[in-house]
Structure 1
């Protein structure tokens, strides 16, 4: 057994663990919490098959939450405002060194969070629009 397999396993564990942890934090903060938890579980399940049983239930909830996030213009506007707020806070944190954790390390992570929120918002909107455009299957007689 080569060195590559244990290194890959540890890297997957660390990356998946970080994604799950950040996702859990974003469940209570503005951001794509369930989608990050799902991404973390997928990474972890690639190396730890026992975790595969958690992927499908979280996937269903994450997709439902993504669809709900673009269910109304008010929700879309709220998400856009949250993304803009994150990016503005990132600029402020980057420029004002006297703030707690002030500097561009915290500021850039806030800006990145805003960009991720916008990306997921666009993805969710397109997904819902594509679903609505699909013809309904004919009812069985």
Structure 2
């Protein structure tokens, strides 16, 4: 293997590992944890074929969790309120210097998380609605 091939493998390992660890942290913190775990696994599987066997089970569970988030009125309301809280927290962290880690770098990350949450809710809602219109369960 040449130097560039080693460098590419190390880069994939670092980026995939960071995304995977961030997703694992977001499994217990607010955020799209399973989706980031899936993204990390997909990145790692490009260079490390042994990781591929974990992709399908995580993909199935991530899609199932996304669909479950829009099938209940309570879950959907909770997700919408969480998105609003992320937007509010992002603005607060951007404007209030007394908050820990204050600034627009933290605030914009929170706001971006809110947009990601709403994008995922929209995707999940359309997927579930289309499956119901076709008279079938959503595909996993």
- Which stretches of structure 1, 4 residues or more, deviate above 6 A after TM superposition? none
Aligned to 1:71: 71
Aligned to 2:118: 118
Aligned to 1:6: 6
Q: CA deviation at 1:10?
A: 2.2
RMSD after superposition: 1.5
User: Following superposition of structure 1 onto structure 2, how do residues 15-34 of structure 1 map, counting pairs within 5 Å?
Assistant: 15-34=15-34
* TM-score between both structures, scaled by the size of structure 1: 0.88
Q: CA deviation at 1:2?
A: 4.6
Counterpart Cα distance in 1 of 2:43 and 2:80: 28
Gaps of 5+ in 2: none
Gaps of 5+ in 1: 137-141
Counterpart Cα distance in 2 of 1:111 and 1:18: 21
Note the alpha carbon deviations across 1:43-98, whole angstroms, 9 max, x for none: 11111111111111111111111111111122111101101101110110011111
- How many residues align? The count is 136
Q: CA deviation at 1:15?
A: 1.9
* TM-score between both structures, scaled by the size of structure 2: 0.89
Counterpart Cα distance in 2 of 1:117 and 1:42: 20
